[in-house]
Chains A and B, each alone.
Chain A
Amino acid sequence: MADKKTKMLLSGNEAIARGVLEAGVDVAAAYPGTPSTEIMETIALFGKETGMHAEWSINEKVAFEVALGAAWSGLRAFTAAKHVGLNVAADPFFTAALFGGMKGGFVMTIADDPSFHSSQNEQDTRMYALAAHALCMEPSTPQEALDMVKYAYEFSEKWESMIILRSTTRLSHSRGPVELGEIPPPSEHIGEFIKNPAQFVCLPGNARRTKPLLLKKMEEIKEYSSKSKWNVVTKGKDPLLVITSGVSYTYVMDAIQEMGINPTVYKIGFSNPLPEAKIIELLKEHPKCLIAEEVEPYFELEVKALAAENGINVKIFGRKEKVIPISNELNPLILKEAFLKVMGKEKIKHEDTLPSLAEINEQLPNRPPELCAGCPHRATFFAIKKAAKNRKLEPIMPGDIGCYTLGFMPPLSAVDTTVAMGASIGIANGIAQSTKQVVIPVIGDSTFFHSGIPPLINAIVNNAKFVLVIADNHLTAMTGGQPTPELGIDAFGNPAGIVTLEQVCTGLGIKNVEIVDPYDLDLTTEVIGKAIDSGELSVIISRRDCALEHSRQVRKAKEELDKYFVDEEICIGCRTCVRTFACPAITFDDSKKKAHVDEAACVGCGVCRIVCPYDAFTKR
């Protein structure tokens, strides 16, 4: 990223990171999670030269607390997380919102994921802001995201309160031209924590005293919000008001432009506390109001309450009226149809002869995400299934959050539950205590460090018996390969302390801790089998570098990957490879009745050689 007034094509996430750098933030901490990951990645890439501290924290709660400690030491602090990451950080979040006292600005970006692009739910962070009495802002474009971050730091310091900058997937992962400002020159970034127990110790007595102060502060900010430059009225001639925020605003403008209509648009950039006075004023001027927001009816419920409390005669349309769909993200077409409904016009007719997407999809193969060619997780799952099959067992396999969630896909079908980070082990505790079934939870290394350790301790102290498999690829792979504690490097790439999985597990006193290489399929199967037979709480660390990372390293070293091919003389066309293992590099040629390796995709793991009952796969 260049300095000075250059314009760059930045994603929302990159623009937020740039805002953090331009605001001269001292401490930034995050745990990766789509769609928020690139914010911290960008800060880590460019922050080193500013002298700031940036880190990949062990989980979102710790990241939040790192930032809080910095802000309470008078430094500018930043954290970012995906929406469900705020669930992990919710405990300190609520208390920090109540106690305030941030002498240094504290901004957190929470990236929501309407339409579940890569998440288990589509929770709306604004509801958290409301519940915690936390300040919340919503940018609409990458440029606005950058500008808002810088403003948010000044505002946060003025009120000694943290601010949530709420993003969504379509902002975080959209690009637009962004005019850059300057990054302040490098400095030492040293703060000082000044003791003030009444402010920082959340005993009930202090909390009781603080709550009225918080409520008073929010009332004051509410007046400020009504005049805020981030809440923008675009006056129109039509007797219709639109209240909107974030990326929904851009869809509203697209629809208005295409339809040639002219409503008044109120774009709310400062969404908690809401600009109540301004909303009341606008409602009084319009007989109808459309509310376009993602995901929950946050504005809608508040605006309806304001209309009722003030006896304003206005018809309000939103999710409750089914003018805006109750779930999923918005788009310009939804807005177009919403405008037609509100204006009492007919729905757009789709009376053409073109085939629908559903009809087309019927003729196309599905293309779900898959574990990569050579992914060690595939071998790990294969070994577990094989060890169980050898014993005529059908184990229950609670899964977790990461690439290995894709073990859910057939033919592996090796994930029976996925709930939350670390939940594989928690749920394994519950099933082990409730049934006589064999339980084999599978969790990734990064997820284990994130929140898998307490439930493992729980198993020890409550005598839960299961075989925990930690799929250890030395990376947080799903989000693009951030370092884990085993790697010994920090966010800037500097050497750092190391914590290994075996240290943790043996340190907890678990006797059966084994380390295997999943590419050694036979041995892995044997070791898992023995652990099942023992009936004891066991941990198997299935350790092998992420295949993507391995390919990257080989390319970097200008070396060649090993490649395998099918010896067609030997292959009898039994399909065992494609039917049970399903590596994306292996296809089956129906005309020749032979398996085939796509050597461009093959990374040379060689596990297919072991899977094949006839030894048809050969190293080139």
Chain B
Amino acid sequence: MTKIEKPYQIEIAGVGGTGVLTAAMLIGNSALVQDIYVVQSEIHGMAQRGGVVNTEIRLGSANGPLIPDKSADVLLSFELGETARAAHKIIPKDGYVIMNSHIIVPPSLSAKKGAKYPEMDTILGIVKQFTDKVYVINAFELASEAGDLRSQNVVLVGALFAIPGFPLTKDSLKKALEIRFRGNEKVVASNMKAFELGFNKMKELMK
């Protein structure tokens, strides 16, 4: 297996139903394609009913499935507010944050009179205390451009792959998509489009 001396660690944060587990499978299978050791954890069960869902992916010389606090090279967040809740995982100063600007309002919030979902600036204010490398992507918009709202997760995976020094390649991701969708060329192609849109957007933001 290809050696990565220090584990490269990706924390994915989101909400049940936003494609967190699928995104993790795609990244994990990309690593497998490149023969890089990978271990990842996911939480099922109660969490799937609209609750918080986190997945942790560790590439290279990792043993256990959990990312210690302040150790994630990247925090990839599928929902605006959840970015802040997972911020303690980021390597302070050096970690990257890629966050979706899309929000999912919990119903318990709607039930409370006068309760408001936090503003983008509030969330950014929290996250930027951890690192300056924060990139906001409107995955909702890019996914609709790609033709499927459900591909927001793949848009964000695309952005992840654009990070300098990221150990996985576009080719292996394409193979992972083929594994996931069992060679259904149409679905693979539309997901690759979502991936490219996210990838290019991230390149543009980093300029």
Residues of chain A having any CB pair with chain B under 8 Å: 7-9, 11, 34-35, 117-118, 141, 169-170, 173-177, 247, 249-251, 253-254, 257, 331-333, 336, 352-357, 360-361, 363-372, 403, 406, 409-411, 478-479, 575, 578-579, 582-584, 586-588, 590, 600
Q: How far is the CB of B78 from chain A (nearest CB, A)?
A: 13
Check B50 against A257 for contact (C-beta < 8 Å). Answer: no
Does A600 lie within 8 Å of B108, measured CB to CB? no
Residue pair A478, B45 in contact (C-beta under 8 Å) = yes
- A to B CB contacts below 8 Å, 14 in the list: A170-B64, A175-B65, A247-B64, A254-B63, A257-B63, A363-B122, A365-B109, A365-B117, A365-B118, A368-B106, A372-B49, A372-B50, A584-B50, A586-B107
B126 at the interface (CB under 8 A from A): yes
| Known contacts A118-B44, A331-B68; is-contact A582 B116 (Cβ 8 Å) | no
Residues of A within 8 A of B130 (CB): 354
A7 adjacent to B32 (CB under 8 Å): yes
> Quick one: which of B38, B84, B109 contacts A363, CB cutoff 8 A?
B84
Q: Which residues does chain A contribute within 8 Å of B82, judged by CB atoms?
A: 367
Residues of chain B with a CB closer than 8 A to A357's CB: 85, 88
CB neighbours of B44 from chain A (8 A): 34-35, 118, 173
- B66 partner, pick from A332, A371, A590, beta carbons under 8 A: A332
- Chain A residues within an 8 Å CB radius of B116: 590
Hey, which chain A residues are within 8 Å of B114, CB to CB?
Answer: 590
Q: Are B115 and A35 in contact (CB under 8 A)?
A: no
Q: A253 touches which one: B15, B48, B64 (CB < 8 A)?
A: B64
Q: In whole Å, how far is A379's beta carbon from the nearest beta carbon of chain B?
A: 15
Q: Given the known inter-chain contacts A364-B118, A575-B113, A582-B110, please indicate yes or no for A169 contacting B43, CB distance below 8 A.
A: yes
Nearest-neighbour CB distance to chain A for B48, whole angstroms, equals 7
| Of the residues A332, A371, A590, contact of B68 by C-beta under 8 Å | A332
**Interface check B2, CB cutoff 8 A:** no
Chain B positions within 8 Å of A367 at CB level: 15, 50-52, 81-82, 106
With a CB–CB cut-off of 8 A, which chain A residues contact B45?
A: 34-35, 117-118, 478-479
B50 to chain A, nearest CB (A): 4
Complex A-B, nearest 7 residue pairs according to Cβ-Cβ distance, in ascending order = A118-B45, A250-B64, A34-B45, A369-B49, A174-B65, A369-B51, A253-B63
Q: Which of B42, B50, B106 contacts A175 (CB 8 A)?
A: B42
Looking at the assembled complex, report how far the CB atom of B52 sits from the nearest CB atom of chain A, in whole angstroms.
5
B19 proximal to A (CB < 8 A): no
Shortest CB-to-CB span from A13 to chain B, Å, is 10
Q: Are B108 and A368 in contact (CB under 8 A)?
A: yes
Write the chain B residue with the least CB distance to A596: B110
Contact indicator B107/A578 (Cβ below 8 Å): yes
> A173's contact among B25, B43, B111, by CB below 8 Å, is which?
B43
CA distance A355 to B65 in the complex (A): 25
B148 at the interface (CB under 8 A from A): no
Q: Which residues of A contact B41 (CB under 8 A)?
A: 170, 173-175
B69 partner residues in chain A, CB cutoff 8 A: 333
Question: Do B49 and A403 have beta carbons less than 8 Å apart?
Answer: yes
Contact residues in B for A176 (Cβ distance below 8 Å): 38-40, 65
B47's nearest neighbour on chain A, judged by CB, is A369
The CA-CA distance from A177 to B118 in the complex, in Å, is 40
B39 contacts A370, C-beta separation under 8 Å: no
A9 x B105 contact (CB < 8 A)? no
Q: How far is the CA of A254 from the CA of B63 in the complex (A)?
A: 6
The reply to whether B129 and A354 form a contact with Cβ atoms under 8 Å apart is yes
A370 contacts B84, C-beta separation under 8 Å: no
Measured CB to CB, the closest approach of chain B to A118, in angstroms, equals 3
Say yes or no: B126 contacts A355, CB within 8 Å: yes
Contact A365 B108 (CB under 8 A): yes
When the two chains form their complex, are residues B108 and A582 in contact, meaning their CB atoms are under 8 A apart?
Answer: yes
Given A169-B43, A177-B38, A371-B49, verify A364-B64 contact (CB < 8 Å).
no
Q: A117-B46, A333-B68, A360-B87 are in contact. Are A586 and B110 (CB under 8 A)?
A: yes
By a CB distance below 8 angstroms, the chain B residues around A409 are 108
- Contact at A174–B49, with CB atoms within 8 Å? no
Any A CB within 8 A of the CB of B135: no
Chain B residues near A360 (CB-CB < 8 A):
84-85, 87-88, 126
Nearest residue (CB) in B for A177 is B32
8 new A-B contacts at CB < 8 Å, known A332-B64, A355-B126 = A170-B65, A175-B40, A331-B64, A360-B88, A363-B122, A367-B15, A368-B51, A584-B50
Cβ-defined partner of B25 (8 Å) among A9, A363, A578: A9
B105 touches A587 (CB 8 A): yes
Nearest-neighbor residue (CB-CB) of B25 within chain A: A9
Within 8 Å CB of B129, what residues of A?
A: 353-355
Given the complex, which residues of B lie within 8 Å of A331, measured CB to CB? 64, 66, 68
Interface residues as binary, B10-47 with A (CB distance below 8 Å gives 1, 0 otherwise): 00000110000000110011001000011111111111
User: Assuming the A-B contacts A173-B41, A175-B42, A368-B51, are A587 and B110 also in contact, with contact meaning beta carbons closer than 8 angstroms in the complex?
Assistant: yes
Q: Is the beta-carbon distance between B126 and A363 smaller than 8 angstroms?
A: yes
Complex interface: chain A residues within 8 A of B25 (CB) = 9, 175
Q: Are A588 and B29 in contact (CB under 8 A)?
A: no
* B85 nearest CB across to chain A (Å): 6
- Minimum C-beta distance from A161 to chain B (A): 31
Chain B hits for A169, CB < 8 A: 43
Q: Which residues of B contact A364 (CB under 8 A)?
A: 81, 84-85, 118
- Which residues of A sit under 8 angstroms from B42, Cβ to Cβ? 11, 173-175
**Beta-carbon contacts of B83-126 to A below 8 Å, as 1s and 0s?**
01101100010000000000001111111011111100010001
CB distance from B145 to the nearest CB of A (A): 17
Complex alpha-carbon distance, A331 and B68, angstroms: 7
- CB of B49 within 8 A of CB of A365, answer no
Minimum CB–CB distance for A265 against chain B, Å: 11
Closest to B103 in A: A365
Does B61 belong to the interface (CB within 8 Å)?
A: yes
Q: Which residue of A lies closest to B90 (CB)?
A: A354
Residue of B nearest to A174 (CB): B65
Contact B61 A257 (CB under 8 A): yes
Collect the chain A residues with CB atoms within 8 Å of residue B66's CB. 170, 251, 331-332
Distance in angstroms between the alpha carbons of A85 and B87 in the assembled complex? 36
| Contact in complex: B47, A254 (CB < 8 Å) | no
Is residue B187 within 8 Å, beta carbon to beta carbon, of the partner chain?
Answer: no
- Is B149 at the interface (CB under 8 A from chain A)? yes
B157: which A residues are within 8 A, CB to CB?
A: none
Give every chain B residue within 8 A of A587 (Cβ-Cβ).
105, 107, 110
Chain B contacts for A371, CB-based, 8 A? 49
The listed residue (A257, A332, A370) touching B106 by CB distance below 8 A is A370
- Which residue of chain A has its CB nearest to the CB of B125? A363
How distant is the Cα of A584 from the Cα of B40 in the complex, in angstroms? Answer: 30
> Chain A's nearest CB lies how many Å from the CB of B129?
6
Instruction: Name B65's closest neighbour in chain A (CB-CB).
Output: A174
B62 interfacial contact with A, CB 8 Å: yes
Chain B hits for A579, CB < 8 A: 111, 113
Q: Point out the residue from B29, B87, B113, B115 that lies within 8 Å of A365, measured CB to CB.
A: B115
Instruction: Chain A residues near B65: list those with CB within 8 A.
Output: 170, 174-176, 247, 250
Which one of B24, B39, B48, B61 lies within 8 Å of A369 (CB-CB)?
Answer: B48
Kindly list chain A residues whose C-beta atoms are within 8 Å of the C-beta of B110: 578, 582, 586-588
In the complex, the chain B residue whose C-beta lies closest to that of A82 is B45
Which residues of the partner chain B approach A333 to less than 8 Å between Cβ atoms? 68-69
Task: Enumerate chain A residues within 8 angstroms of B63, measured Cβ to Cβ.
Answer: 249-251, 253-254, 257
Closest Cβ of chain A: how far from B179's Cβ, in Å?
9
A578 to B24, CA, bound (A): 34
Contact (Cβ within 8 A) B49 A578: no
* Beta-carbon contact of A369 and B38 below 8 Å: no
In angstroms, Cα B118 to Cα A72, docked, is 61
